[in-house]
Amino acid sequence: MVLKSRIAFGGGCHWCTEAVFKALKGVVIVEQGYITSIAPNDFFSEGVIVHYDQSIISLPQLIEVHLFTHKSTSNHSFREMYRSAMYWYDKEQETAFAKAIQKLQPLFSKSIITEALPFMSFKPSRESITDYYSKHPNAPFCTRYIKPKLSFLNENYSDIIKPST
């Protein structure tokens, strides 16, 4: 039986985030687009909705991968466009995020700035830019930004990545 659930993430470019989550076992669908939360984060920021089978991959595993595959400790000048967040759909997800931060913070040299925010709305990306890595794996952007993240997954999360990654 498939125990499908969903969670949304924002961090860096949604092309990177989409490619990272598509590489994970148990991830069924990754919707790329723009996400809003509540004020003061009520404007669209790049992100993905991850639909996953919780009997194969857990929410804490997804959170961990997210934190380690984008600049989760950097409050850089593009944070409005690339909000560092996990968007929750229910209080259990919000609690799971708080527990994950508490567990993982000691592994980071700086404070994690990623926020747990309530999911409000989603606007999908136009078709021409979805699944960018699969369509253009040798494009300069993919070579510079996405491939290193996928290499990181191969080196650190080989037990939860799909064989083709």
pLDDT band at 8 (very low <50, low <70, confident <90, very high): very high
Q: What average pLDDT does range 100-118 have in this prediction? A: 96
- Tell me what pLDDT residue 59 has: 97
Q: What average pLDDT does range 62-76 have in this prediction? A: 93
Cα 6 to Cα 165: distance, rounded to the nearest angstrom: 22
Instruction: Tell whether domain 4-160 is in CATH 3.90.190.10.
Output: no
% residues pLDDT > 70 (the chain):
98
- Tell me what pLDDT residue 2 has: 58
- Tell me what pLDDT residue 3 has: 62
- The string of pLDDT tens digits covering residues 131-158 is 999 999 999 999 999 999 999 999 999 9
**Contact between residue 122 and residue 34 where contact means Cβ atoms under 8 Å apart:** yes
